[in-house]
Amino acid sequence: MLQRLRGFRDMYPEYMRARRIVFDKICSVARSFGFHEVDTPSVELLDLFRIKSGEEIVKQTFSFVDKGGREITLIPELTPSVSRMIAARKDLIKPVKWFSFPKMWRYEEPQSGRLREFYQFNADIFGVANITADAEVMALAMEILDSLGLKGKYVMKFSDRILMEELLRSLNIEKIEEAFRIIDKKDKIPEERFYEEMLKITSEENVDSLISLLKLSGDVDTILSKFEHFERSEILASLKDLLKAYGKTATLDLSIVRGLAYYTGVVFEVHDANGEFRAVLGGGRYDRVVELFGAQPTPAVGFGMGDAVLELLMRREGVWPEEKIEVDYFIAIIPGFRKEAIEIAMELRRSGCVVDIDLSRRSIGKQLKYAHRINAKYTIIVGEEIKNGEVALKDMESGEQRNVKIGELKEVIEK
Amino acid sequence: MLQRLRGFRDMYPEYMRARRIVFDKICSVARSFGFHEVDTPSVELLDLFRIKSGEEIVKQTFSFVDKGGREITLIPELTPSVSRMIAARKDLIKPVKWFSFPKMWRYEEPQSGRLREFYQFNADIFGVANITADAEVMALAMEILDSLGLKGKYVMKFSDRILMEELLRSLNIEKIEEAFRIIDKKDKIPEERFYEEMLKITSEENVDSLISLLKLSGDVDTILSKFEHFERSEILASLKDLLKAYGKTATLDLSIVRGLAYYTGVVFEVHDANGEFRAVLGGGRYDRVVELFGAQPTPAVGFGMGDAVLELLMRREGVWPEEKIEVDYFIAIIPGFRKEAIEIAMELRRSGCVVDIDLSRRSIGKQLKYAHRINAKYTIIVGEEIKNGEVALKDMESGEQRNVKIGELKEVIEK
């Protein structure tokens, strides 16, 4: 028997119902913020991803040569495709606020919270350089989590590339790009290696100072009070005030890195409060990326949130929706009354109800058993009584059964 | 600049809004019929598709060898994955009614109504051998089209593999599989070639009879009256009666083929009434497919409907939804009142409204212009009046503007 590929998922109805509730909620919060949905191809030229991420990305993608000899790939992220869309439409009204929730693929070793095929919610604002836009996307991220019942169960941590640059310069580090490159991989390399590489561009004392700076995490005002003389502090303080107006709080944490070479301002990550899982979501400001794809220079800020870690967290916190299918009515049929039963089904379906109907021509006993197993709230039994314009209505929870006029069916049930 | 691949689409917000309305409607009708949503991987082992379709399918797929040396493919259809899901769960309650609306990919020459990447709605019933299930899926297909405003704009045509088999036998054709194979490709080969191949298994006179049979199309009773002595006629007549109970009609058309070798009973296709486009949707009964994937023998009937032809037809009939973005409120901000503006935005957003807010710190004149361009129904201007608990509310259509108490904002607007 042929199994599915490792890191891929089959999703059955019970599970899908829970996912649909979560996905709909996420999209509906994004819409309420004035974000509009877009969709992009799932397959793109591999070169599109090389532009932003270099040859590095190739190893992590499902990429291949197609029958036309083109190097193509399943998309591992959304920014390149969306940037191309921005570039292609000169008439777009800025700010542009877009979201999408596509499948993505990464050729990585599957593990808890990391799959080869996953869905990722993305929201971005293009065309606003002001910190107001950073606040709007960070608030959106937190409002989504709050709306999913995760209030108090997560921490929004942020850092800032410009502040970091000021800090590096204060440590007499002039090779800023090189320093960011090293800081970027700090958590993936041994501390000695970090020292070794840093010592090529600054003194041992400065590396020690840098390391303690990178450990700073906590209340925004407390940390910023150490950096009052830095220009960027004022902006970050105003970010904190804006978030407060949204009813949200964030922690300043200089260890948040997220590819400082790629981001140009605020970077942020949400982690579960226990720190048990990988990041729930991450994002930041990337003002110099969109122009790489042929657009006018376009300031941009946004975030991405995969479905896997979010689900782990929601399950742990007991807020993952119940996984069960259900229908409003099952219509059981006494032989000879199928036509009438179908007519009743269609009337209820058109009025917005979820209605299943016997298709198997089984006994009434078996039909009722099936109705129980698909969690029907009511069973409508269509038989002889239809000649008096009546059907039997059975409440599947209480077991109570009584005859009801067809015309009064909806009314009786709504009570 | 790197373009997207041919046969793939970038979808901007205006277009996505229309699509979302259509997609939501389709899924909501499927739910009302008691179908439950499932999701499958977009990438599968290529062998999974060879099982059902043989080597033929390989040419038409986006398939490749992955970094682990496996022959894998982007899914060109759903049946194999869904059959595997049926096989893997012995506890499933039959009948199983599933739908999904995934992306699929085919490596074919793009043309009107045929793309390399497309969405396809699928609905299937597993576990019911009775014609009642055929009627239920055909009715679902038609109810979806009716709900999209296409009533009277399409024709549901069906044929039947079992009737065809009886007809072939009545023409003394014994090599049924071979005959189906040839009939299957009838429309793709020249008539002489069809004759030539058919003459290998029957007489010229019989081929002529077969050709006139294949041209039969029209009222079910009229055509079936020619075949009263065939056992299958009764079943097909009852299919017609069942559809009538659903409020639907279908045409019996023996030219509908759809791979008779794969289907085991009724096959159907919906075409636009003018016959301008390729089929809008197609399906049928395939009782011997699911077991190929390791499941118990499982009767099955279902259909697939791509998004491309449906869109062409809806546009032609003027029922494609309007392509425009819109928001309920835009919140314009007088300098100094951003905090209060954000608080009002969040209150409205939480109450279910779609609310955009100034992020660009532009002049009020420019903010109002932006509000017009994003089709805001109202603009709320937050300024000095907030000190009296008031904001200015501007109706963007009438241009009328007046001051409103914040607490009464929702109430005033709902009127």
pLDDT tens-digit series, residues B381-396 = 999 999 999 999 999 9
Between CA B283 and CA B295 the distance in angstroms is 21
Distance from CA of B290 to the nearest CA of A (A): 12
CA-atom Rg of chain B in angstroms: 28
- Cβ–Cβ of A133/B41 closer than 8 Å? no
Least trusted range by pLDDT, from A254-268, A372-386, B286-300: A254-268
Contact B38/A at CB under 8 A: yes
Q: Which residue of A has its CA nearest to B94?
A: A370
- Count contacts between A and B (CB, < 8 Å): 250
pLDDT for the residue B53: 81
Q: Is B262 annotated as a binding residue?
A: yes
Residues 6+ apart with CB under 8 A from A194: A182, A186, A207
Q: Do B5 and A373 touch (CB under 8 A)?
A: no
Q: Quick check: B130 and A242 CB within 8 A?
A: no
Mean pLDDT of A69-75: 94
Task: Write out pLDDT tens, residues A344-364.
Answer: 999 999 999 999 999 999 999
Q: In the beta sheet, which residues pair with residue A224?
A: none
A41 and B4 within 8 Å at the Cβ level: the answer is yes
- Please report the pLDDT score of residue A197 as a whole number: 93
Which residues in B lie closer than 8 A to residue A70 (C-beta atoms)?
5
Residue of B nearest to A371 (CA): B93
For the purposes of burial, counting CB atoms within 10 Å of the CB of B188, is it exposed (0-12), middle (13-18) or buried (19 or more)? exposed
Nearest to B5 among A19, A44, A93 (CB): A44
Residue of A21, A26, A36 best to disrupt the B interface, most CBs of B under 10 A: A36
Instruction: Report DSSP state, residue B319.
Output: -
Annotate B256-285 with b (16+ C-beta within 10 A) or e (fewer). bbbbbebbbbbbbbbbbeeeebbbbbbbbb
The alpha-carbon gap from A41 to the nearest alpha carbon of chain B, in Å, equals 6
Measured between CB atoms, does B31 come within 8 Å of chain A? Answer: yes
- Cβ pair A246:B346 closer than 8 A: yes
Distance from the Cα of B400 to chain A's closest Cα (Å) equals 23
Query: Are A342 and B133 inside 8 Å of each other by CB?
Result: no
- The token pair at B179 is 């005959």
Q: Which residues have C-beta within 8 Å of that of residue A200, sequence separation ≥ 6?
A: none
Distance from CA of B401 to the nearest CA of A (A): 22
The rounded Cα B225 to chain-centroid distance in angstroms is: 34
Q: Interface pTM (ipTM) of the complex?
A: 0.95
| CA-wise closest residue to A216 among A144, A159, A263 | A159
Check residue A260 and give its pLDDT: 67
Chain B hits for A29, CB-CB cut-off 8 Å, are 349
The predicted model gives B374-384 an average pLDDT of: 97
Contact list, A13 vs chain B (CB under 8 Å) = 36-38, 98
H or E segment to which residue A212 belongs: helix A204-214
The reported pLDDT for the residue numbered A186 is 86
Q: Check B5 against A353: CB less than 8 A apart.
A: no
Q: What is the average per-residue pLDDT within A304-316?
A: 98
User: Mean pLDDT: which of A186-195, B9-18, B55-64 is highest?
Assistant: B9-18
Q: Residue B2 has what pLDDT?
A: 80
Tell me which of B31, B39, B52, B143 to substitute to probe the interface with A (most A C-beta atoms closer than 10 Å). Answer: B39
| pLDDT (tens digit per residue) in A135-180 | 999 999 999 999 999 999 999 999 999 999 999 999 999 998 889 8
**Averaged pLDDT for residues B262-274:** 95
Interfacial A residues in 74-133 facing B (CB < 8 Å): 74, 81, 84-85, 87-89, 93-95, 97-98, 103, 105, 107, 117, 125, 127-128, 130, 132-133
Nearest residue of chain A to residue B7 (CA atoms): A41
What's the CA gap between A277 and A279, in Å, rounded? 6
> Where does A170-322 show beta strands of DSSP type E?
217-218, 251-253, 266-272, 281-285, 300-306
- Which tens digit of pLDDT belongs to each residue from B303-314? 999 999 999 999
Model pLDDT, residue B181: 87
- The C-alpha of A246 sits at a distance from chain B's nearest C-alpha, in angstroms, of 6
Tokens found for residue A398: 């209480």
Note whether A66 contacts B: Cβ–Cβ < 8 A.
yes
Rg of chain A taking only CA atoms, in angstroms: 28
Contact A128 B359 (CB under 8 A): yes
Q: Which residues of chain B are within 8 Å of residue A11 when distances are taken between CB atoms?
A: 38-40
pLDDT for the residue A144: 98
Predicted local distance difference test score (pLDDT) of residue B259: 74
Average pLDDT across chain B, whole number = 94
Find residue B405's DSSP bridge partners: B390
B19 belongs to an annotated ligand binding site: no
pLDDT of residue B260: 67
Minimal Cβ distance to A342: which of B11, B62, B242: B242
Q: Name the residue of chain A whose CA is nearest to B294's CA.
A: A1
Interface subset of A 278-297, CB within 8 angstroms of B: 293-294
| pLDDT tens digits along B398-408 | 999 999 999 88
pLDDT of residue A385: 96
Q: Token pair of B119, please?
A: 């969405």
Query: How do strand B154-160 and strand B266-272 relate by DSSP bridges?
Result: antiparallel
CA distance B163 to B284: 14
Residue ranges of domains in chain B, CATH in brackets: 13-40+78-316 (3.30.930.10), 327-414 (3.40.50.800)
CB contact under 8 A, A339 and B293: no
B40 interaction partners in chain A (CB closer than 8 Å): 4, 10-11
> Residues near A235 by Cβ (< 8 Å), separated by ≥ 6?
A131, A162
CB-side neighbour CA atoms (13 Å) of A51: 21
**Burial letters A69-97, b for 16+ CB under 10 A, else e:** eeebbbbbbbbbbbbbbbbbeeebebbbb
B13 neighbourhood in chain A, CB within 8 Å: 36-38, 98
**Which of A132, A350, A360 is opposite residue B95, by nearest beta carbon?**
A360
| Per-residue buried b or exposed e for B12-44, using 16+ beta carbons within 10 Å of the residue's own CB | bbebbbbbbebeeebbebbbbbbbbbbbbbbbb
Q: What type of residue is A266?
A: V
Report chain B residues whose CB lies below 8 A from the CB of A2: 45, 47-48, 51, 84, 293-294
Among the partner residues B19, B38, B130, nearest to A12 by beta-carbon distance = B38
pLDDT tens digit sequence for B242-261: 999 999 999 999 988 877 67
| Residue A339 predicted with pLDDT over 90 | yes
Nearest to A371 by CA among A356, A351, A385: A356
Residue B154 pLDDT more than 70? yes
Q: Which of B343, B359, B360 to mutate to test the interface with A (most CBs of A within 10 A)?
A: B359
Q: State yes or no: pLDDT of B61 exceeds 90.
A: yes
Lowest-confidence segment of B172-176, B355-359, B366-370 by average pLDDT: B172-176
> Which residue among A1, A103, A128 sits closest to B87, beta carbon to beta carbon?
A1
Cis? peptide before B95, omega within 30° of 0: yes
Instruction: Please tell me whether residue A36 adopts helix, strand or coil conformation.
Output: strand
d(CA A63, CA A75): 9
Question: Under 8 Å CB-to-CB from B235, ≥6 apart: which residues?
Answer: B131, B162
Q: What is the pLDDT of residues A231-282, one digit of tens each?
A: 899 999 999 999 999 999 999 999 888 776 789 999 999 999 999 999 999 9
Q: Does A6 belong to an annotated binding site?
A: no
The answer for A 144-163 residues in CB contact with B (under 8 A) is none
Contact (CB, 8 A) for A256 and A164: no
> Can you read off the two tokens belonging to residue A310?
């979010």
